[in-house]
Structure 1
């Protein structure tokens, strides 16, 4: 009897050890996070979103430190296309992406899922040398115009050009990352560039001027971004994905609080883009709603539009259905667990509050 009890106890101990081993194996040793961009001077810091705060405030690393899991942030000067290449080579687990590169990745066969929104209504600026005769988009015909191809900037540029009676065929488009394009504007090697908030500093330095911005123009021109992950990573480590999305939702709610704005701008300015530029870019904007993580009718409509426009502009060869690409499980649970289910207003497809 005692022998049977001993054997039974030993078997139970072995079973427990095996279960414990599986539990440990269920957690990755490292979480590889991707960011499509770099700060000024190629510094590994970016700003402008609630997701970037997970890096700047160290919350993501701190959350997994107690589990012995390293969080490795990867910043790509090559932006969206470079992120897609890393994903194709199984070098990233979860990342943020603008509309175009996420659509290109999915359309080209990358096994990814859209988990949440990362930002909404990101505005674009058309910047030219300070003494340029260009006064607006219509003056770009035949000019050397830069933007980083394969990124959200290209999709925005194509939409803006079309809205002003032009197309990419009417300009001499040149693919440049932000660092190269800023230098080219300063040396007048290009006539214009489509870019984001970080280009405002060129104006402040007297090097360039802004002749157009999507702020106040058509609501279809600005770009949105999302939090994307590999399907394999989601399936293998759902608890890890849940923690990340829950932290992202908390970060979005923190940014939504007006009393945190100054601190947010200060943290973002570590990217090299001045505090004043972030503050200016957000003037007149609904920061709470623009930082909404919801995948509501508006977010889905913008992705559907991105798929259709990318096909129309020849940026992708095949299309796909957006809704089956989304995975709301983690976002819905995060909103429920944090008590933020009704914190952000749901928008309809036209960007108007529902109800």
Structure 2
């Protein structure tokens, strides 16, 4: 009986010790009972150089807020959306801003992420452009022509939906997959006849008399919204950090709206173009960060269904599964 009592006592002590460990460092709490972010780094992806993100990086607005929590910040620059979702799939990226098509392809490929807010309206921020003196006057005239596009991008979806609306198949023309830095010289030297792309490329080429818009989203009735996304595992573990990420973006957008003349001068100087070019870019693609509406989700489903029909994605998906407005709603409340 005595040995049984000793065994009971030992088991009780072990249970108490285990309970203490559960409430210690392994729970992610520090000695003050606050959540610990020791060793946590948020890896933030962005597209292009300069612009609002250039201002954010220069001012260290992300570092300013995340340093308060002991969270490190890393930035990674990309030319288009598909490489961003690939980086997210391998855990090398936690947040990103990108177009509608890359996130559809990513969802179909089983990459786990959440859409946390809408970043562009999508009416005319994507377009097919042709050289200013080109004989091409309609989408139908693209038959037999060479068209550049970044594969898997929102411009890729826009091109294919535009062709379908004009009664053309992809096989009716030569589609050449090129990233923006490759497509620009190909377009300027006549190696391609048209280019399906997004802003600021559209406005930079049009307002410098290098191109004209053949068709944009408003003309074809094809929306190309953009979104901010977060890696699902990161968002589930650190929802407050995803909310903070959106709060910093909101701070940056507020600065841009309240200091537009300064922003305009800055952005024009970065690209060495007249301010009118920058104003045109922002007319087409003014940045936002808002909850995603049911109407936008429905439009996104149309895009996903179309991409499945043309066998560009291998399985039918329900896009509503990846949308989560809780993060942006929390950011806008605080």
TM-score of the two chains, using structure 2 as the length reference: 0.81
Please list, as runs of the form range in 1=range in 2, the aligned pairs for 1:56-71 lying within 5 A after superposition: 57-71=59-73
Aligned-partner Cα distance in 1 for 2:250–2:190: 43
Spell out the pairing of 1:144-183 with structure 2 (5 A cutoff): 144-183=146-185
Q: In 2 relative to 1, CA 213–328 (structure 1 residues): closer, same or farther, beyond 3 Å?
A: same
Say yes or no: does 1:221 pair with 2:218. no
Larger radius of gyration: 2
Q: Please say if residues 46 and 271 of structure 1, whose CA atoms lie closer than 8 Å, have aligned partners that are also in contact.
A: yes
Deviation at 1:215, TM superposition (A): 6.2
Is 1:333–2:330 an aligned residue pair?
yes
Alpha-carbon RMSD across the aligned residues, in angstroms, is: 3.0
1:224-277 Cα offsets, whole Å, 9 max, x none, are 11111111101222221121122233444554x4x4333333444466374432
Q: In structure 2, what is the equivalent of residue 276 of structure 1?
A: 276
SS in structure 2 of the partner of residue 223 of structure 1? coil
- Measure the CA separation in 1 of the matches of 2:60 and 2:245: 13
Q: What is the correspondence of 1:224-235 to structure 2 with a 5 Å cutoff?
A: 224-235=225-236
Q: Residues 317, 51 of structure 1: CA spacing in aligned structure 2 closer, same or farther, 3 A cutoff?
A: farther
Q: 1:268 to 1:65 in 2, by over 3 A?
A: farther
Structure 1 residue 278 displacement after superposition: 2.6
Query: Taking structure 1 as reference, are residues 169 and 273 closer, same or farther at Cα in structure 2, changes over 3 Å only?
Result: farther
Paired with 2:54 and 2:296, the residues of 1 have a C-alpha distance of 20
CA deviation string 1:42-95 (max 9, x = no partner):
xxx254xx7776446532222113333322111123x22211221121111111
**Residues matched between the structures, number:** 309
Q: Normalized against structure 1, the TM-score is what? A: 0.76
Moved more, 327-336 or 19-28: 19-28
Q: How does 1:1-355 map to 2 (within 5 A)?
A: 18=25, 19-20=29-30, 25-26=36-37, 28-35=39-46, 37-38=47-48, 45-47=49-51, 54-55=56-57, 57-77=59-79, 79-121=80-122, 122-196=124-198, 197-206=200-209, 208-214=210-216, 216-218=218-220, 220-255=221-256, 257=257, 259-269=258-268, 272=271, 274=273, 275-283=275-283, 287=286, 291-337=288-334
Query: How far apart, in 2, do the equivalents of 1:135 and 1:193 lie?
Result: 14
Cα distance change, pair 46–223 in 1 and its aligned pair in 2 (3 A): farther
